[in-house]
Structures are given as structure tokens and as C-alpha cells.
Structure 1
């Protein structure tokens, strides 16, 4: 009996040695390699081995486009409609402020000039008659009724002349030249500022109603970056912060800008806001609408 008991005990001991622990228990018992722990820590922050100080990144990346200030771009629209009689413009052409970019045909323009010249001549005559009646009235040599009538006639005609002159001024017509040179058959459309022609929408014979655009003019003397940021980035955004950016299509060349304004309203849909930065050194290759990638450095 003793031999049988010893053999059974020995068999149980050997069976327990051949059954390893479950895999889950082995993983809990085995410590993670030191190299993996260090790698995870580096993904969060880097620690200086001497001072134990952490080095946290102080810049954030943003995407956006090149643009120009509203004061340096203009949409050329018509105060009076008409058909395009002539134009020498091509998209991308450079024009000077006051340069004629197109001429229009419209009989109403001729009538407006005629109205002004006729009312100006009548106003001159009625003014003299009014002054004469005023003098006679003071000397009691004329009736007050006649004096009042001459005054009303003069003021009415002067009002008509002034209204026609104001309309011509909106059309960029100098009424002094109108007196000297007579009626102009075509309305001249002039450039409101120096710049390059874009979005040209006309050709010879095109009829445009009042308020319709002919083209846009862009002055690239000052360019801005329009960057898209998000509300989570507000801690990085400060007026005066330095910006380093690259322009799509211009290789790895980098440029500098400075943040000048930060949007005060967050979009309800994507929670974004616009950030504008002024480019320091202008480049003739810059075009409004070009895609940029930028990094804004947080001020200390």
C-alpha cells in the first residue's frame, strides 16, 4: 500500500509541472520592456536629462490661402446700364487708377448730358432774372408776386441742374469738360485703383444692366494670409505672433508674416475661425487664392 501511495503522489507532482500558467496570468506578471515605456513618454513630451525640464512644442500648423485687404481690391460695376462699345482689357492686364477700361453705348447717357447742359443754361438766365426782380422789389418797383415767381423758377431749375450734375459725377463725368467739349457719345468706365484685371465678364456688344460687374481689379501691393483655425487652438493665437509659411507651387521656400487679426466668431458647423496675417516681404509670384501651409509660433 505504501508503494501505491508514493507512486500516485509522484504522478500528481509531474502533472503540475507540465501545466504552465494561463497566458493572461503570464502577461500580468511580465513587466513591459523599458524601451516601450520610454517611447510612449516621448510621444507626449521630451524631458531634459540634466534639468528634468519638459520641452513642449510652441507652434501649431494651419492651412489657408493668400488674399489681399478689401481696400486693395475692387469690383467694377456700372451705375448706368449699356452695351460694351470698346475695351482693350485682357485677364491679368495691369491698369492705372483713372484709366479707361471700357466704353458703353446708352442713349440715356446722351439725354442726361443734354438735360444738364440745358438746365445749366436756363439756371444762368433765371438767376439773373431773380437778382433783377430782387433789386426791383427792394426799391418797390416790382410786385412781390413777380419776385417770388422768379425766385421759384430759378431754384427749381438749379435743383434740376444739380441733380443731373450729381448723376454725371457718379458716372465719373467732369461737367466742366462737358461745357468745353460738348456731349460725349460713349460712357467711359474707369479703373478705381491700380492693379491687375481679374474675373473679366464682358466682350464687345455685351449688354450690362446697372449694378452688374465688368471685372475685378486687385492691387498686390499688400498681401495677407487667411488661415483657418479652430476654437481648440485659441491658446496659440495672439496678435503679433510670428508666422512661417510655405506656398503651394513654390517648393520648400519659406516666408514670414505676422498675425494682425483673429476672428471673433466661431462657425457653428465646423467650429472654425479665421486668422489674418500680414506678409512681411511681398513676392510678385503671390496670387490671391494660392494655398498655403503655415505655422504660428506662440508668444512666450
Structure 2
């Protein structure tokens, strides 16, 4: 028996299939959306992780001291440390005695100066007398020339000894008044804090060997590492904002005062120095900082 499918039934089946809804599933299809960031992401340097943004540049660096604010204590004459009470971190004033040294050569040098000083006075008087007699033709020219040579030779010896004493911090005038000093006093040339103390009683120190250092923290600076690509947007006078490791989120301010003129051949970096507007008493040389150098607008004509 043949099955007969009427046309209107076929149309109804097709309509029902078109109205069916897909079954709900737990899977969702992610939709890609475009997000516009109001600030460009910083560029990160591959060497030191320094970053840069469109309007400012971020650098790593450290707190340093200018050369005029630190002194290495060393003498041109060696000796044995006879006495010292200096401790690391101790504050000392300018001309404070840091230690005393014992050296027989120091006594000999003082004796040389005193002897030559006395001889110079005598020879100078004799030279002046022979000069007067020579002018009056009462003495031979030979005696006059000999007295002049003796005087100048002794005077140069006196001056040489005086210069050596000054290098050791001893004033010849004081030596004439007070006589020979048995010990050489080591004095601080600046006021500040003692660091790297490398001396103790009984230790022999060689000429030129550092005994300690004295640092003046009243005017610290920043030493920042920068790169070739940032030089075009940087100049002396650019404002600096920085934070110090270990001091929280407090922000300090400074100004660029010097930009290095030689690029390191290995990492293509150079150093930038900046003064600090208000130094904190907690600042220590060597502390790490993160700084932002504000880019200067290009002047238009």
C-alpha cells in the first residue's frame, strides 16, 4: 500500500523545525573587545629594568656625595698608630685629632727644619753684611758670592723641610714656638662622619695608606643610570622626583645638574647627576633610589 504525503503536512513539518531553539549549554564563546588605555604602557629596559613613559622617564640610581664632601685620611709618612679613639659612624669636626703616629723620621724632619731655620738666619745676616761691604768695595767679590750661595742653599733646605711638614699638617711656626713634637697628629680636614676605619693601636701604616674616611652628608646627590635613547628629552635643569628604598612611598625632589658625556661601551649607559632639594637625615650614601626625570618641552620658535 502506498503512503501518501499531503503537501500541507510537509509545509507544517518544515515550519516546526524552523521554530526550534538550540539547547542551552554551559559553554560560552568569548567575545573579543577592544579596550582603549588612557596611558601608554611603559617601555622596560632589558639591562636594568628602567622604564620610560610618554611624559617622564624612570631610572634606577643611588645616593652619592660630591667629591668635596668626602675625604680619605692618608699621610705621606708612615708610622705606628700610638693612640686613637675613633669609632665608625662617629661625628668629628674639622681639625679634630683622629689618631697619633710614632715615627723617628718625623722627629728627624723637625730637627732638619729647626737647624736649617737657625742657619738661614745666620747666613742671611752674613750675606747682607758682605753685600754692603761689596758695594763699598771693602770686601772681595768672591766672598760676597760665596755668602750669597750659602744663604740661598740653606734657605732652600729650610723651605723643603717646611713644605714636608705642611703636607703632614704641621705648621713650622708652631714648631718654632713649641719645639719638636714626639708624635704626629692625624687631623680631619672636614667635618662629618667617620667611615671605613682601618686603624688600631700598634698597627703600622704605610705612606699613602688610608686610615679612614670622613663624609659630610649635608649635601647628598643622586647618581642615575640613563641611556642613549633618553638623551634627547633630558637637559640640565630638568626636575626630578624620586623615592628611596626602605623609606616607604615618600617622594623627594631634585634637579638635574650634570649629564655624562661618555657612553659605556657595554650597556650603552651613562650617568646623570641631580641635586636634592631637601635632604633627609636618614639619607646614606649608597642607598638605592627610583627616580622620574620630567621631560622638558621642546621650545618652538
TM-score, normalising length: structure 1: 0.82
Q: 2:71 and 2:281 mapped to 1: Cα distance?
A: 19
Q: Distance in 2 between matches of 1:84 and 1:116?
A: 24
| Residue of structure 1 aligned with 2:64, choices 67, 82, 99 | 67
Write the mapping of 1:185-200 to structure 2, written as runs, cut at 5 A: 185-200=182-197
Q: CA deviation at 1:117?
A: 0.3
Partner of 1:239: 236
5+ unaligned residues in a row in structure 1: which ranges? 1-31, 46-55
Cα separation, 2, equivalents of 1:166 and 1:196? 29
Counterparts in 2 of 1:293 and 1:91: CA distance versus 1, 3 Å:
same
Shift of residue 34 of structure 1? Answer: 5.7
What is the match of residue 131 of structure 1? Answer: 128
Distance 1:130 1:69 in 2: 51
Q: Distance in 1 between matches of 2:270 and 2:137?
A: 75
TM-score, normalised with respect to structure 2: 0.81
Aligned twin of 1:226: 223
What is the aligned partner in structure 2 of residue 263 from structure 1?
Answer: 260
- SS state at 1:296 partner: strand
Q: RMSD across aligned C-alpha pairs, in angstroms?
A: 1.7
Give the C-alpha shift of residue 236 in structure 1: 3.4
Spell out the pairing of 1:10-89 with structure 2 (5 A cutoff).
Answer: 33=31, 35=33, 37-39=34-36, 44=40, 57-89=54-86
2:92 is matched with 95
CA distance in 2, matches of 1:153, 1:200: 47
Q: Distance in 2 between matches of 1:160 and 1:88?
A: 36
Task: Please state which structure has a larger fraction of its residues in helix.
Answer: 1
Aligned to 2:173: 176
1:164 equivalent among 161, 166, 169: 161
Deviation (angstroms), 1:33: 4.8
How far does the alpha carbon of each residue in 1:171-230 deviate from its partner, in whole angstroms, 9 at most, with x for none?
111111111100001111111111111111111111111111111111111111111111
Contact 2:60/2:224 (CA < 8 Å) preserved in 1?
A: yes
Stretches of structure 2 lacking an aligned partner (at least 5 in a row) = 1-29, 42-52
